[in-house]
Structure 1
Amino acid sequence: MNAIQHNREKLLQLIDRVIEKMKLMTNEDMEETCPIGIISMENWEWPQGVGLFSLYLYYQETGREDILDYLEQWFDNQLRKGVPPLNVNTICPLLTLTYLHELRPKGRYLEQLHQGAHYVMREMPRTEEGGLQHVVSGVLNEGQLWDDTLYMTVLFLTRYGTLTGDPAYTDESVRQFLVHLKYLTDPETGLFFHGWTFHGHHHFARALWGRGNAWYTAGLVDYLDMTDPPAGVKLFLSGSLERQAKALERLQASSGRWHTLLTDTSSYEETSATAAFAYGLLKAIRCGYLSGDYKSMALRAFEGVVDQIDGDGIVRGVSYGTGMGRTLQEYKDIPLCPMPYGQSMALLMLVEGLKQDFLSP
């Protein structure tokens, strides 16, 4: 299916199929290894958080009240059940709650947002130099920085600052971007290592993991939507994005996708990372953070993801949740299965496609 041949109506139909499958996803065919399930949308964890945010962006583009109704029902049900202990990953759903509260304000929404922001600023464990330690459900990961953290927690922190008008949260978000880039950037390639530990001072397997890199590509363009950092910081972050884009251009497979280990062609091609790269690149070009020179790469990625969406709307070629690998082989051995973040990262990309000039009316 050629992305250039899509018209808006066909793209909207595809989006609806992807959303339907995301909402109905279960773990029947996959044994969960995470303490909180990361497949079903009935749970509160980072994959569900990414899914909620993609739905909000779809609502923002279309004004469909049924999407907003779903978000409200999801949060009301979860808050009734009780939110699991807060950590880097369980903060992620709160990003969407900041937007929902602006549209349909409720006291319990604001209370949960206050609790989340207080936890991040005052209680979340820190590494040296004040980095947010990548504590997750069941694991403290002492002294560790992971590239996932910027998307899962720092975007929420930024939005909370905007919601409350308190610049302390924006200032903290700037520090987190700078600290993470300081320790996770590979100076040789311009890509990002999955993690860094201050206990031993190393990058674990030195994995240039696809989805981890994609969290920066997708997260940065949304971060710059949410706040206006100092000009020098914005130039620095955009420069890191452009250097990453140059590396991605060299590493893109003929299918339009990227490998789960970006520089290792013996690792499988992975769809969720490709979708987030396509989303971030297309949006960065549209917003002027990147030049149009990268558009052909982004469109090949767009098409490569669409080719992985089956007739039922399930996004194929998505890797299961990936912890910090101590060897590169561990990344190659992560199983492939439909995941809510595969659906939602494809949804981010498809919704951005609605804003692009390659669609016919």
Structure 2
Amino acid sequence: MTLETLVRRVSAYIAAHPNERDCWQKAPALSGLLAWDLPEFRSLVKKWIDRAVATQKSDGNLSYGDWHLSSGGHIRSFTPLASETSAMGAPMLELYAASGDVRYLSSAERQYRALCEAPRTSEGGIWSRGEGPELWIDFTYLMCPFMARYGKHAGRPEAVDEAFRQFAVHVRRLVDPEVGLARHAWCEKPNHFPQSTFWARGNGWLLACCAELLTIAPEHPGCAHVREVYGVVLRAMSQCQDASGYFFHVLDDPLSNLEASATLMYAYGAERAVQLQVPVAGLPAEALRERAIRAFVVVAGSVEESGKVPGVAMVPGGPGVPFDWTLFGQGFFLLAAHALQAHVGALELDA
């Protein structure tokens, strides 16, 4: 099967499975659809983003952000803050760049204001949920690219600065300096890690954030730190890749399941690092690209005829969650495919 056929199937599966209430999960799916810009899905992208704007709350939070009880994993409840709802802001601003529709920039301004008003740790880190004070590594991707994009489009350099500031404080608290990998969640009071494993997808979120920040604001002084972290985490994560090409759900636990979304995030993050010329100690660019291709191809082989990408650990991640499919898993398939298309487009993918 060709890459183009797979991309269309995965995109069609996204279109057939809208999620009205979970804004952050569909944000990577929208970014993936925007990257490919296939004519048959343009109206869907606009419809979903327009709906997010239409349901933006008085407090500035985009789309729905619902309090909920967890069905598994390491948390019992989750009360969303602006750090979560900001995820929709990144694809919304991508659409703004393409369309010039000022409604999207105005909506982004309200969402950014909600972020500025969100509760913070003593170091200024924006809480991941209302049950804080907590920082989660996935929120680097959910809010930092949005802030950087907003700052660029609105002529607000302080918003770009804030994106790099949030990246730095999350890395300081969550990336283990000895191992070079990120832990999932840190709580300030009492000071502990409520979920301390080297969660594969969490490290994938961080790699994707690095790629976005270096692309959006390559001239920012904070990029030197981002490039350093990118190289360190990418090297450490690469050492955990299974011979199959997959990554385990918990990176250093071969008894945990092979996990598709983290594997796709790695494929995306590794290839983007090659394109951005990020040095990775002990891994020349071609060796890193080869690992990215293996990661993408092995997941591509699992895609069902319907376009569903299976084998994704469900929210909230961490040990003890069921596996199925998610909109962000679909989205990172599209993003990885787009990044690697020059290298896998001619392959016959076994799906």
Q: Report the TM-score when normalising by structure 2.
A: 0.86
Given the alignment of the two structures, is residue 84 of structure 1 paired with residue 64 of structure 2, yes or no? Answer: yes
User: Which of 332, 343, 346 is 1:360 aligned to?
Assistant: 346
Given the alignment of the two structures, is residue 24 of structure 1 paired with residue 24 of structure 2, yes or no? Answer: no
Q: Which residue of structure 1 aligns with residue 148 of structure 2?
A: 158
CA apart distance, 1:360: 3.3
Partner of 1:43, secondary structure, is coil
Given the alignment of the two structures, is residue 69 of structure 1 paired with residue 63 of structure 2, yes or no? Answer: no
Q: Which residue of structure 2 aligns with residue 11 of structure 1?
A: 3
Given the alignment of the two structures, is residue 305 of structure 1 paired with residue 294 of structure 2, yes or no? Answer: no
Larger CA deviation: 266-275 vs 284-293: 284-293
Given the alignment of the two structures, is residue 206 of structure 1 paired with residue 200 of structure 2, yes or no? Answer: no
Partner of 1:145, secondary structure, is strand
Please list the CA deviations of residues 171-218 of structure 1 after superposition, one character each: whole Å capped at 9, or x if unmatched. Answer: 111111111111111122100010111112222242110111100111
Q: Report the TM-score when normalising by structure 1.
A: 0.84
Distance 1:110 1:236, change over 3 A: closer
CA apart distance, 1:358: 4.7
Distance 1:198 1:334, change over 3 A: same
Identity, % of aligned positions: 27
Larger CA deviation: 281-290 vs 263-272: 281-290
CA apart distance, 1:359: 3.6
| Contact 1:174/1:229 (<8 A) preserved | no
Given the alignment of the two structures, is residue 45 of structure 1 paired with residue 23 of structure 2, yes or no? Answer: yes
CA apart distance, 1:81: 4.7
CA apart distance, 1:69: 2.4
Larger CA deviation: 291-300 vs 215-224: 291-300
Partner of 2:135, secondary structure, is strand
Q: Which residue of structure 1 aligns with residue 163 of structure 2?
A: 173
Given the alignment of the two structures, is residue 288 of structure 1 paired with residue 282 of structure 2, yes or no? Answer: no
Superposed structure 1 runs of 4+ greater than 6 Å apart: none
| Contact 1:245/1:294 (<8 A) preserved | no
User: Which of 105, 108, 113 is 1:110 aligned to?
Assistant: 105
Q: Which residue of structure 1 aligns with residue 78 of structure 2?
A: none
| Contact 1:46/1:93 (<8 A) preserved | yes
Q: How does 1:227-266 map to 2 (within 5 A)?
A: 227-231=217-221, 233-266=222-255
Partner of 1:203, secondary structure, is strand
Larger CA deviation: 92-101 vs 80-89: 80-89
Given the alignment of the two structures, is residue 129 of structure 1 paired with residue 119 of structure 2, yes or no? Answer: no
Q: How does 1:315-334 map to 2 (within 5 A)?
A: 315-322=309-316, 331-334=318-321
Name stretches of at least 5 consecutive residues in structure 2 with no aligned partner.
57-62, 66-80
2:55 & 2:228 partners in 1: Cα distance? 43
Q: How does 1:259-278 map to 2 (within 5 A)?
A: 259-278=248-267
Q: Which residue of structure 1 aligns with residue 268 of structure 2?
A: 279
1:53 & 1:300 partners in 2: Cα distance? 23
CA apart distance, 1:309: 1.0
2:142 & 2:333 partners in 1: Cα distance? 17
CA apart distance, 1:276: 0.5
2:332 & 2:345 partners in 1: Cα distance? 20
| Contact 1:271/1:308 (<8 A) preserved | no
Match of 1:126, as an amino acid? R
Q: Which residue of structure 1 aligns with residue 76 of structure 2?
A: none
CA apart distance, 1:248: 2.0
| Contact 1:318/1:338 (<8 A) preserved | yes
Match of 1:84, as an amino acid? Y
Distance 1:150 1:250, change over 3 A: same
Given the alignment of the two structures, is residue 336 of structure 1 paired with residue 323 of structure 2, yes or no? Answer: yes
Please, what is the CA RMSD of the aligned residues?
1.9
Distance 1:112 1:216, change over 3 A: same
1:260 & 1:234 partners in 2: Cα distance? 29
Q: State the aligned residue count.
A: 321
Larger CA deviation: 70-79 vs 314-323: 70-79
Distance 1:107 1:222, change over 3 A: closer
